Structure 1
Amino acid sequence: MRFIGFPALLTSATALASLSFAAPLANGKDRRSFIERDGVNYTVFEHAATGAKLEFVTNSGICETTPGVNQYSGYLSVGTGMNMWFWYYQRNPKCRMILNIVRFFEARNNPTTAPLATWFNGGPGCSSMIGLFQENGPCHFVGGASTPSLNPYSFNEYANTLYVDQPIGVGFSYGTDSVTSTATAAPYVWKLLQAFYTQFPQYENRDFGIFTESYGGHYGPEFAHYIQQQNSAIDANTTTGQKINLVALGINNGWIDGVIQEKAYVQFSYNNTYKPLISQSNYDTYMATYSRACLPASQACMSTGTDDDCSNANRRCYNDIEGPLTGAANFNVYDIRQPSNDPNPPETYVQYLQSAAVVKAIGAKSTYQECPDAPYNKFTPSGDGARSFLSTLGAVVSTGLTTLIWAGDAE
């Protein structure tokens, strides 16, 4: 079940204890070195506090071609055999930095004062290259062109933007994947940001925002909540690190609460702005099935929080509601006005990122995978998709965090 279209988590101490991070450097000092591999020059930065390592290529010439905007692409090693891909763009050539995520693009306007934003695609287990090349990134493929062109409506017009591929195995990221839920993903994202701030100290006090979509209805609230918890722990001197000035959370078409949204699948399929996707009799049947099977299973998940109950809810609701409705008619799940084979947005970027020349230029070490099964399958046993993040979202909003929830039925 991929939550990538069609319009209170319990975290055990055992689950968090299983997380693996690289050991801090023995001498307690950051290290930087330079290497050449296969004709490509890399900078290597080792972060003493977290044990994270950044290895990146400078100015590959791929994607962002705005004059004065530098770029860095490579990997952040956040744990034992865990390598997250990143791409960073910077406008001021006198201020060189690195990043530890999928990609980072400096703002095209006022980069020295612009806020810092992160973008997470959903899945779970889908690459944020989807957002970068098909939605809000600095370049896109117009009309299915074989090479990208500048996107004038990119997020990085006004914000320094970081695109994150997580968990491991997604996009160009590779290695050991120990993430089995949204809750176990959050600490890795925080560690990654800690290494980022050390390498880019000028962003330490900037306004910071999390933006996401689809399964980001889980990611967004939990990542924001975890960052706020870590900030409080730093204030209380119970942990060490750089406080993150989180000021905003944005969720597009987010999968937040199954009890509400499984029912909404049925309602939207019959009554929407454009055309019914199912008949009245089918609507009645689906609503009865929801009340008889999906709703009780979801309520059991919310009540007990066990992996078995939540996995059962995931399975029942998908088999009875989501799966059949998605195949009920010939429509595009992102824009119901269009047929299922609508070529927009074009998938050209996938072939582009699998080109040997592009892979070499940006310093990637694996074959690009848009939505691989392995990371997704690790979420299934925990029933993560059926768990509600409505209370987590409410807790985040109650802190005064500026929050934007937006959704639509057409592109």
Structure 2
Amino acid sequence: MRAVTVLASFLLAIKALPAADRVESLYQMPDLSFGLYSGYLPVAGTSKQLHYVAALSENNWQTDPVLLWFNGGPGCSSMLGWLSENGPYSIIDGQSNFTKNQYSWNKEATIIYIEAPAGVGYSLCTDSKDDCDKYNDFNSADDSMQAFVQLMTVKFPELKNNDVYITGKSYAGIFVPRLAERVDWYIGNCTANKSCPFVPKLMGYIVCNGVTDYRYDNLKGFIDTAYWFGLISTSLWNDLINNQCYENNPPVAQCNQWIDELDKNLTNIPVFDILGKCWTPTIKQTLSECGGQSSLNFDEKRQMTAHRYASFIKSPLSSKHVGANPPCTYSQPLIDFMNNAAVRKALHIPDSAPEWIFCNDAIIGNYTKYPNGSIEVYESLRGKYKMLKLSGDTDLAVPTSATKGWIENLNWPISKEWKQFFVNGQVGGYTEERENGKFLFATIHGAGHMAPQWKPAPSYHVVFNFIKNQPI
């Protein structure tokens, strides 16, 4: 009888959360009893509204940590995280229907996916004066900060005393630390002035295969990884490296020819998982993912190169190189799902919202990247918060070797040496701790760019042991 009473209280508490945003039922996702929400977070003084989806913790949402999740691009939808990486349901590559994800991060945390900046996915920006396709690392962080405050004070005030971690993947290696920087400032200001509606309990941040420092996360890392995985010849590698063809303005005219040869060698090699299957898209699908032909100069025989898809890679490539290497991602079922009329209605998407696409090419093309990346945030927040850098070791876009480069360059003291960890009796990857455990670097063995998607068990193991301060 007590169990029934507790369950009834739990369900009543869920109903007390933002009722207008609650998703009561959803195509192919039969059990939403944990509590799924979808709605909008307005940015004050603008037409911008950031779309979010929240999956409450299945364990105890009232006390479990809150994880904010951002995908990268910059300009790609965070619904990719919800639908294929770490959400309650996911579509496995090659399949067309969602299945329950036994390694969903909402098993032990409330995870909130935010489509940012405005104009990405179902996030809205309707007034041209708001420069809806002109973002940078700082104003996008400012907008996300406003969204975060809205979440914790208007949408989910019941969660404002919970621990918070900011998480994300790919170009969110910039988004996540920059938002953490904003939240840290907000905490300091609130503490000093005692005038804020709440003081966040920011515990740290988690970045999966994220770009961080352009001195390492660049075309050179891409070239080196292609060579060490046996994808290009020694002579081509020597030509590219010895002649510094990875520079934005390569000193040797022949670099373009060598880079063309690099692209040819990588045809049908998945940029996000070197050892994975290449899911060759139709030209219609590729255009849908990228928001149309506005600046990509597609024709029916030419699809995106690895470099264009991983747009944060600093390289001398121009639009004429679009076409040598397809992105190889499996995506059409996600596009179909998000544009299903019943799904849009269930997620409370207004009729005026455009078709959902993976990435907004106008935002990608006009986005201004801060040349220092986010590495300086690691320095400024050093010792104040926990930091986890997760790296799938078969990623060509943000290679593990490049990540190790900027970590070594930080020169922070090692507190626990490099070691293997095991999950289900197999090597899950390797870890190294610095700053007395405040900074954890973990590789996921055999995973690419989407480690939580392709190696869910070891990724889950690392993330939640990190959060719980338990040994990996």
TM-score computed with the length of structure 2 as normaliser? 0.61
Matched residue type, 2:208? N
Matched residue type, 1:337? L
Distance 1:147 1:229 in 2: 43
Matched residue type, 2:270? N
1:354-400 superposed Cα distances (whole Å, 9 cap, x missing partner): 11121122211222121011221231xx344x43321112222x133
Matched residue type, 2:103? Y
Distance 2:274 2:53 in 1: 31
Distance 1:242 1:248 in 2: 18
Secondary structure of the equivalent of 2:247? Answer: helix
Map of 2:39 onto structure 1 = 74
1:271 and 2:225 correspond: no
1:207-254 superposed Cα distances (whole Å, 9 cap, x missing partner): 100111110111111111111011111122197342211112111111
1:377 and 2:315 correspond: no
Distance 1:292 1:195 in 2: 42
Secondary structure of the equivalent of 1:255? Answer: coil
Map of 2:162 onto structure 1 = 206
Secondary structure of the equivalent of 1:108? Answer: coil
Matched residue type, 2:276? Q
Map of 2:238 onto structure 1 = 284
Q: Give aligned pairs, total.
A: 319
Distance 1:109 1:44 in 2: 17
How far off its partner does 1:350 sit? 1.2
Find 1:353's aligned residue among 338, 359, 374.
Answer: 338
Map of 1:402 onto structure 2 = 386
Distance 1:63 1:395 in 2: 44
Task: Mark the CA change 1:327 to 1:214 in structure 2 (over 3 Å): closer, same or farther.
Answer: farther
Matched residue type, 2:24? N
Secondary structure of the equivalent of 1:186? Answer: helix
How far off its partner does 1:137 sit? 0.9
How far off its partner does 1:124 sit? 0.2
* Contact residue 116 and residue 209 of structure 1 kept, 8 A: yes
**Structure 2: any 5+ residue segments left out of the alignment?**
1-15, 127-131, 281-327, 395-446, 448-453, 455-472
Secondary structure of the equivalent of 1:258? Answer: coil
Matched residue type, 2:196? T
Distance 1:320 1:114 in 2: 54
Task: Mark the CA change 1:219 to 1:319 in structure 2 (over 3 Å): closer, same or farther.
Answer: farther
Written as runs of structure 1 = structure 2, the 5 A alignment for 1:199-238 is 199=154, 200-237=156-193
Secondary structure of the equivalent of 1:133? Answer: helix
Distance 2:377 2:119 in 1: 27
Find 2:87's aligned residue among 112, 119, 137.
Answer: 137
Map of 2:206 onto structure 1 = 250
1:392 and 2:377 correspond: yes
How far off its partner does 1:258 sit? 1.3
* Contact residue 204 and residue 385 of structure 2 kept, 8 A: yes
Map of 1:38 onto structure 2 = none
Distance 1:368 1:324 in 2: 35
* Contact residue 252 and residue 405 of structure 1 kept, 8 A: yes
Distance 2:259 2:102 in 1: 35
Written as runs of structure 1 = structure 2, the 5 A alignment for 1:11-410 is 56-62=21-27, 64-66=29-31, 68-79=33-44, 80-85=46-51, 102-142=52-92, 144-176=94-126, 177=132, 180-199=135-154, 200-237=156-193, 240-262=196-218, 263-272=220-229, 276-290=230-244, 293-294=247-248, 325=262, 328-329=265-266, 330-341=268-279, 345-365=330-350, 366=353, 367-379=355-367, 382-384=368-370, 386-396=371-381, 398-408=382-392, 409=394, 410=447
* Contact residue 214 and residue 252 of structure 1 kept, 8 A: yes
Report the aligned-residue RMSD: 3.1
Matched residue type, 2:80? I
* Contact residue 62 and residue 362 of structure 1 kept, 8 A: no
How far off its partner does 1:293 sit? 3.2
* Contact residue 207 and residue 390 of structure 2 kept, 8 A: yes
1:32-83 superposed Cα distances (whole Å, 9 cap, x missing partner): xxxxxxxxxxx998xxxxxxxx963542335654363222222222242212
TM-score computed with the length of structure 1 as normaliser? 0.70
* Contact residue 206 and residue 387 of structure 2 kept, 8 A: yes
* Contact residue 290 and residue 320 of structure 1 kept, 8 A: no
1:164-196 superposed Cα distances (whole Å, 9 cap, x missing partner): 100111111122426511111111111111111
Distance 1:81 1:265 in 2: 39
1:11-30 superposed Cα distances (whole Å, 9 cap, x missing partner): xxxxxxxxxxxxxxxxxxxx
Matched residue type, 1:401? Y
Task: Mark the CA change 1:124 to 1:326 in structure 2 (over 3 Å): closer, same or farther.
Answer: farther
Distance 1:190 1:332 in 2: 34
Task: Mark the CA change 1:58 to 1:133 in structure 2 (over 3 Å): closer, same or farther.
Answer: closer
Distance 1:346 1:292 in 2: 30
Distance 1:166 1:223 in 2: 12
Distance 1:320 1:179 in 2: 33
* Contact residue 289 and residue 320 of structure 1 kept, 8 A: no
Secondary structure of the equivalent of 1:223? Answer: helix
Structure scoring higher RCO (CA < 8 A, sep ≥ 6) equals: 1
Matched residue type, 2:231? L
Map of 1:90 onto structure 2 = none
Map of 1:14 onto structure 2 = none
How far off its partner does 1:407 sit? 1.0
1:126-145 superposed Cα distances (whole Å, 9 cap, x missing partner): 00111111111111124544
Distance 1:335 1:123 in 2: 17
Distance 2:59 2:269 in 1: 39
Larger displacement relative to structure 2 (327-336 or 154-163)? 327-336
**Percent of matched pairs sharing the same residue:** 26
